[in-house]
Amino acid sequence: QTGGATIPAQQPENIIVRTTLQPLAAVLGGTHSLHTNSMDEALSLPTEKAVQIALRTQQVIGFESGAGDVIDPLGGSWYIESMTDRLEAEARDYLKTIEDLGGAPAALEQGFQQREIQEASYRYQREIEDKDRIIVGVNDFTVSGEEPPELLRVDPSIGRRQVERLQALRAQRDNAAADAAIASLEEGARGADNLVPLIVAAVEARATLGEISHALRRAWGEYREIVVV
């Protein structure tokens, strides 16, 4: 998937270019799956036009560029291989740090992951504000009085219709069977059972996603992120 952090609200048309370069790089790197973000996702759910442009971007790269016609279009470029080696080494260093902290859960309890994300976000934002990192249309090459794009407007009746469908489902299903399946799932979650068959049974009993999620929350509690200063 193309980078969500590269979808600013300003000059959204520029995102079309960004979500051309990024998936092209992914194809050159041999990706097996690809999703291109729409240009207006920083502002709202994407419009049909924005989604179509994102899809056409993939299709142009896939069917017109020829980038995917050979196994290794970059031909083992020394520059690319050196960046890959550096990325691998840095990733191994991160894994070693996490192992030294006692593993991922222990590192999470110590706030390691949160601190790393916060510090990286802070550095990135400072680079933008100090113009050490140029983001076209955000901190340079800006336009005054920019007209906002047309955004998707969700019909409020959709929510009402969904509530009606949910009420009808609960009225028509075997609620005793649904309650029993949810209770079995909660009991299994409190132990060491394989939850997949229990979740499948709950779905077959017409339990809703919310009911299944609530059962797991009752069994496991709800994660509260540690505040790291």
Render pLDDT for 134-186 as a digit per residue (tens, 0 to 9).
999 999 999 988 888 899 999 999 999 999 999 999 999 999 999 999 999 99
Q: How far apart are CA 87 and CA 29, in angstroms?
A: 14
Is the pLDDT score of 76 beyond 90? no
80, part of any domain:
no
Number of domains the chain contains: 2
118, part of any domain:
no
41, part of any domain:
yes
In the chain, the amino acid numbered 69 is: D
User: pLDDT, tens digit, for every residue of 182-226?
Assistant: 999 999 999 999 999 999 999 999 999 999 999 999 999 998 877
pLDDT at 62: 93
30, part of any domain:
yes
pLDDT at 17: 96
Report the alpha-carbon angle 64-56-14, nearest 5.
Answer: 105
- Cβ-proximal residues to 96 (8 Å cutoff; 6+ apart), any chain: none
Is the pLDDT score of 133 beyond 90? yes
pLDDT at 145: 86
Tokens of 58: 């993939």
117, part of any domain:
no
What's the chain's average pLDDT? 94
* 55 in Cβ contact with 36 (< 8 Å): yes
For residue 140, the cross-strand partners are: 136
For residue 11, what is the DSSP state? S
114, part of any domain:
no
* 2 in Cβ contact with 33 (< 8 Å): no
209, part of any domain:
yes
pLDDT at 47: 96
CA 23 to each of CA 7, 32, 34, 128, 151: distance values in angstroms, whole numbers, following the listed order = 14, 11, 7, 23, 24
Domain that holds residue 46: 4-63
Query: In the listed set 63, 80, 104, which residue is the last one of a domain according to the structure?
Result: 63
pLDDT at 118: 93
Query: In the listed set 42, 63, 84, which residue is the last one of a domain according to the structure?
Result: 63
- Cβ-proximal residues to 211 (8 Å cutoff; 6+ apart), any chain: 178, 182, 202
Q: How far apart are CA 186 and CA 196, in angstroms?
A: 12
pLDDT at 203: 98
pLDDT at 146: 85
User: pLDDT, tens digit, for every residue of 3-43?
Assistant: 988 999 999 999 999 999 999 999 998 899 999 999 999 99
With H, G, I as helix, E, B as strand and everything else as coil, classify residue 140: strand
93, part of any domain:
no
pLDDT at 38: 96
Query: In the listed set 30, 63, 96, which residue is the last one of a domain according to the structure?
Result: 63
